[in-house]
C-alpha cells in the first residue's frame, strides 16, 4: 500500500471543503498548521465555556457567563458619538442591559425586537452596581435554543478565524469522518475503557465539563496514545529495517584493549564497563548495531568509544569517530592518540583543513587499511573517502546529526555498526521519541578524580568585586571562562556583547591575559584563540556559547556565566561541565540581573542545588516543554498535536512496547490489526514508515 487508502480521502481534502471555510479563512487556518480536515480534527479545544441554561442571571456570581431567556424592552441609542448602544431586557427575575459599542441601530432593532423573547448568552458584569452583558456571544430564538451547546469548546485561533467558524467546521469534519478498523490491541482497550477512534474524537470536540479538557480524560488519552503509537511504530520499523540488514560479527580477542586498560591511571566505572559490554555484544551479533551512548558531562564516554573502536581493530577492521566541529575532532585526537599509541594502533585525523598531497596520502593509507582509526568532522562523508574495511562508526554529539545522516554513515562500509554519543542528558520520554529506533546505554556514574564544582549565584551589581576576585585567581595561576549573555534580537549582537566584555576585562586585568572567541570569527582564528587558552598563554577566555560543546582545558577552574537567567538549564549545565576537569577545586558563578522572574529563580536554584544532569534535564522538560528543550526544528523531534510528552511518559512507554510487540508478531503488517495500523500510519502522516514497509 504505497499510496493513501481511499477511506482517508475525506480527511485529506482541502480544508475549504468544510462548512463555513472560504478561501480567505482557509489561508488563515494554514497559519496555525491546519490544511486539511484531519489537521482540524487533531486541533483540540483549549478550554470551554459553560452555557447551561439558567432561570435568571441571579443564579450566577458576576463576572461570569449566563445563558437566559429574556423579554426585550426599550432600545436606547447613544446621544453622542462614542457612547454605547443599550437594550433593556428582563429575565424571569431580574432586569439587566445588553450593551453594544459601534453598533448599527437598524441591525440591532432586527436582532432584538422590543416585546419579543430571545435566548441570550454572554458574560455578565456589574457596572456601577447594574448588571450588563456587553456584546452577547449568542442571540437565538427560544425554539432554536437547543443549537447552543451546554458546554462550548474554545479553540486556538488566529486572525480571520472565529470560534463560530471553528465550531461549525469541526462539526462538519466529524460528520465526514469515516469509521476505521481498530488498530489498538483489544485487551488494552478493555483494560483502559477506551472508546473507538471516532467516538474519542467526538467526545474530545464535544466536552461536557472542564474535566473533559484534561490530558487524563479517557477520550484525550486514547487520541494521545494513537499519535504516540504511530510514531513509535515508525521508529520500530526503522529499527527492524536496520536489524534486518545483514550485519557482520565483529569480535575482538581483547589483546589491544588489555594494553590500554593497563596503561590507564584509574579503573573504569561500573557504568563504563557495562556499556562496553553491551556494545561488544552488539558488535558480535549478526545484526547491525544502532546504539545511543548517553552520559553526563565527564562521565567518561571517550573511553567507552575508544574501547569499542579497538574491538573493530582487533577483528582486523577499521573504526571512524566523527565530531561536529574541528575543535572537538582535535580534542578527541589528543585524548585518544596517546592511548592508541601505547597499544600500537594507528590513529589519524581528517578534517576540511587537509588539502593536496597530505590529504591524498591519508586517503591512500585509509583505503589500504594502514590507518586503523580515523577521527574527523563530517569531511569523512565525502565520496573520495574510502575505507579498507570499516566496521564501526562513532558519532559524537548526536543532535547535530539527523536520522538521514546516521543512515548515510551506515552506507560507508559494508554493514557498518553505529554508536552515537551524546553529552546532553535527555529525559527518558524524549530519548524514546528522538532516538526511539536506537538501543540505549547510559553512563550514570562519574569517574574518580573529577572534582565537584561549587556553584554560586551573584548579582550583576557586584561585577567589580567579581573582577577583583578574578584578578586574584589569575595571579595564582588559575584560568577562567567568562561566558557572555545570549542577546535577543536587538541593536547588540552576541558578538558585540562579547567584544565589549573582552575590552573591559583587558583594561582591568592587563594586555595578553584575556582571549576572545565568538561564533562570527573565522574558524582558524577561533582555533588559534582556543589553542592559546589551552596552552595557558591567556588566562581568561571571553566567549559566547561556542564553547558549550566539549572543549577540555583541565587547568580552567572558574566558569563565569553573565546574565545566567537568559540561558536554558541544559545549556547552563553544559557550560558548567567545562570546569572541574582537573585537580583544582572549581567554581561556577551564575551572574544574574535582578529582579529575577519566578522561572529564572527556579532555574538558577536547580543549578546551585544539583550537578546531576538527568535531574536537571527532567526539570528542564517540566519547565520548558519538549519542543523548546531541543529546538524542535533541528532535533527531528516530532511535533505532537495531542500527546503531551511531559505528562504522558507512561503512555509513551506503553505505545513503544505495543509497537515492538505488533511488529514482532506481524513484521509486514498484513494481519487485520496490522492493516488497520497501516491506515493509522497514513492518518498520522508517518510517510517514512510507509516507505519502510513498502521497501520491505
pLDDT tens readout for residues 667-695: 889 999 999 999 999 999 887 677 766 54
Q: Are residues 402 and 457 in the same domain?
A: no
| Same structural domain, 434 and 457 | no
Residue 635: per-residue pLDDT: 40
Whether residue 651 has pLDDT greater than 60: yes
376 with 263, same domain: the answer is yes
The CATH number covering residue 560 comes to: 3.40.50.300
Check pLDDT > 90 for residue 202: yes
Residue 11 in domain: no
Is residue 498 scored above 60 in pLDDT? Answer: yes
Task: Give how many domains the chain has, as a whole number.
Answer: 3
Percent of the chain with pLDDT over 70: 87
Amino acid 659: pLDDT: 92
Q: Give the CATH number of the domain where residue 92 resides.
A: 2.40.50.140
One domain for residues 422 and 458: no
Which phi and psi (to 5°) does residue 536 adopt?
Answer: 90, 5
d(CA 65, CA 45): 18
Minimum mean pLDDT range among 57-61, 345-349, 570-574, 635-639: 635-639
Helices 218-244, 197-205: inter-axial angle, 10-degree rounding: 130
Please indicate, yes or no, whether residues 296 and 406 belong to a single structural domain of this protein: yes
Q: Would 205 be classed as within a structural domain?
A: no
What is the per-residue pLDDT for 535? 86
Residues 436 and 459 in one domain: no
Instruction: Please check whether residue 547 lies inside any domain of the structure.
Output: yes
Same domain, 341 and 278: yes
The answer to the question of residue 237 being in a domain is no
Domain end call among 148, 171, 195: 148
Instruction: Give yes or no: residues 382 and 480 share one domain.
Output: no
**DSSP for residue 596:** P
Nearest to 164 by CA among 20, 326, 27: 20
Whether 563 maps to a domain, the answer reads yes
The mean of the pLDDT values for the chain is 85
Residues 163-182, mean pLDDT to the nearest whole number? 93
Residue 663 lies in a domain: no
519 belongs to a structural domain: yes
- Of 391, 416, 443, which closes a domain? 443
Q: What is the DSSP string of 222-291?
A: HHHHHHHHHHHHHHHHHHHHHHHSB-------SHHHHHHHHH-SSPPPHHHHHHHHHHHHHHHSSBPPEE
Residues 495 and 570 in one domain: yes
The pLDDT tens digits for 386-401 are 899 999 989 886 545 5
Query: Which residue range(s) make up the domain with 469?
Result: 453-610
* pLDDT bucket at 51, cuts 50 / 70 / 90: very high
Residues 393 and 477 in one domain: no
Note whether 336 and 420 are same-domain residues: yes
User: pLDDT value at position 636?
Assistant: 43
Which of 568, 593, 610 is the endpoint of a domain?
Answer: 610
In a domain, 212, yes or no: no
One domain for residues 435 and 565: no
Amino acid at each position: 500500500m504505497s499510496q493513501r487508502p481511499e477511506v482517508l480521502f475525506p480527511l485529506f481534502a482541502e480544508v475549504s471543503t468544510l462548512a463555513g471555510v472560504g478561501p480567505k479563512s482557509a489561508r488563515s487556518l494554514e497559519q496555525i498548521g491546519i490544511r486539511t480536515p484531519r489537521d482540524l480534527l487533531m486541533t483540540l479545544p483549549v478550554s470551554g465555556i459553560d452555557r447551561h441554561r439558567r432561570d435568571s442571571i441571579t443564579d450566577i456570581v458576576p463576572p461570569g457567563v449566563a445563558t437566559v431567556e429574556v423579554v426585550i424592552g426599550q432600545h436606547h441609542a447613544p446621544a453622542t458619538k462614542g457612547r454605547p448602544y443599550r437594550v433593556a431586557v428582563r429575565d424571569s427575575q431580574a432586569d439587566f442591559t445588553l450593551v453594544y459599542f459601534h453598533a448599527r441601530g437598524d441591525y440591532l432593532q432586527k436582532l432584538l425586537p422590543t416585546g419579543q423573547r430571545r435566548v441570550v448568552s454572554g458574560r455578565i458584569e456589574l457596572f456601577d452596581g447594574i448588571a450588563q452583558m456587553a456584546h452577547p456571544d449568542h442571540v437565538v430564538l427560544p425554539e432554536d435554543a437547543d443549537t447552543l451547546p451546554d458546554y462550548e469548546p474554545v479553540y486556538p485561533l488566529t486572525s480571520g478565524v472565529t470560534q463560530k467558524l471553528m465550531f461549525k467546521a469541526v462539526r462538519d469534519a466529524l460528520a465526514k469522518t469515516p469509521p476505521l478498523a481498530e488498530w489498538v490491541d483489544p485487551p488494552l482497550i478493555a483494560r483502559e475503557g477506551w472508546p473507538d477512534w471516532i467516538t474519542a474524537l467526538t467526545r474530545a470536540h464535544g466536552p461536557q465539563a472542564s474535566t473533559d479538557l484534561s490530558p487524563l480524560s479517557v477520550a484525550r488519552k486514547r487520541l494521545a496514545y494513537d499519535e504516540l503509537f504511530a510514531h513509535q511504530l515508525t521508529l520500530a520499523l526503522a529499527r527492524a529495517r536496520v536489524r534486518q540488514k545483514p550485519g557482520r560479527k565483529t569480535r575482538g580477542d581483547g589483546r589491544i584493549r588489555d594494553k590500554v586498560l593497563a596503561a590507564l591511571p584509574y579503573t573504569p566505572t561500573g557504568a563504563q564497563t557495562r556499556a562496553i559490554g553491551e556494545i561488544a555484544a552488539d558488535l558480535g551479533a549478526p545484526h547491525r548495531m544502532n546504539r545511543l551512548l548517553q552520559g553526563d558531562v565527564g562521565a567518561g564516554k571517550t573511553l567507552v568509544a575508544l574501547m569499542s573502536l579497538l574491538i573493530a581493530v582487533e577483528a582486523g577492521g577499521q573504526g571512524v569517530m566523527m565530531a561536529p566541529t574541528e575543535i572537538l575532532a582535535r580534542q578527541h585526537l589528543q585524548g585518544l592518540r596517546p592511548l592508541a599509541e601505547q597499544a600500537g594502533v594507528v590513529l589519524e585525523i581528517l578534517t576540511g583543513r587537509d588539502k593536496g598531497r597530505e590529504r591524498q596520502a591519508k586517503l591512500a593509507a585509509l583505503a589500504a587499511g594502514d590507518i586503523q582509526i580515523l577521527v574527523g568532522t563530517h569531511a569523512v562523508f565525502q565520496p573520495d573517502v574510502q575505507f579498507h574495511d570499516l566496521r564501526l562508526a562513532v558519532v559524537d554529539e548526536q543532535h547535530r546529526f539527523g536520522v538521514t545522516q546516521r543512515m548515510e554513515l551506515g552506507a560507508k562500509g559494508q554493514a557498518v555498526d553505529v554508536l552515537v554519543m551524546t553529552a546532553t542528558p535527555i529525559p527518558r520520554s524524549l530519548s524514546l521519541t528522538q532516538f526511539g529506533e536506537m538501543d540505549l546505554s547510559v553512563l550514570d556514574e562519574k569517574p574518580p578524580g573529577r572534582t565537584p564544582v561549587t556553584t554560586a549565584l551573584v548579582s550583576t551589581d557586584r561585577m567589580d568585586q567579581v573582577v577583583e576576585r578574578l584578578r586574584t585567581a589569575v595571579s595564582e595561576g588559575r584560568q577562567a571562562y567568562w561566558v557572555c549573555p545570549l542577546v535577543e534580537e536587538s541593536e547588540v549582537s552576541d558578538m558585540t556583547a562579547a567584544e565589549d566584555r573582552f575590552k573591559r576585562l583587558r583594561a582591568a586585568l592587563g594586555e595578553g591575559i584575556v582571549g576572545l572567541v565568538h561564533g562570527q570569527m573565522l574558524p582558524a582564528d577561533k582555533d588559534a584563540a582556543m589553542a592559546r587558552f589551552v596552552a595557558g598563554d591567556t588566562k581568561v577566555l571571553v566567549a559566547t556559547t561556542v564553547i558549550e560543546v566539549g572543549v577540555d582545558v583541565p587547568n580552567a577552574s572558574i566558569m563565569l556565566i553573565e546574565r545566567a537567567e537568559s540561558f536554558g538549564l541544559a545549556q547552563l549545565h553544559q557550560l558548567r561541565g567545562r570546569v572541574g576537569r582537573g585537580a583544582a577545586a572549581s567554581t561556577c558563578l551564575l551572574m544574574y540581573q535582578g529582579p529575577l522572574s519566578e522561572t529564572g529563580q527556579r532555574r538558577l536554584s536547580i543549578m546551585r542545588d544539583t550537578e546531576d544532569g538527568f535531574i536537571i534535564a527532567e526539570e528542564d522538560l517540566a519547565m520548558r516543554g519538549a519542543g523548546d528543550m531541543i529546538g524542535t526544528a533541528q532535533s527531528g523531534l516530532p511535533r505532537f498535536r495531542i500527546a503531551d510528552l511531559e505528562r504522558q511518559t507512561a503512555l509513551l512507554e506503553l505505545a513503544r512496547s505495543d509497537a515492538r510487540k505488533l511488529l514482532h508478531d506481524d513484521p509486514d503488517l498484513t494481519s487485520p490489526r496490522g492493516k488497520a495500523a497501516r491506515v493509522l500510519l497514513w492518518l498520522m502522516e508517518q510517510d517514512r514508515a510507509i516507505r519502510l514497509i513498502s521497501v520491505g
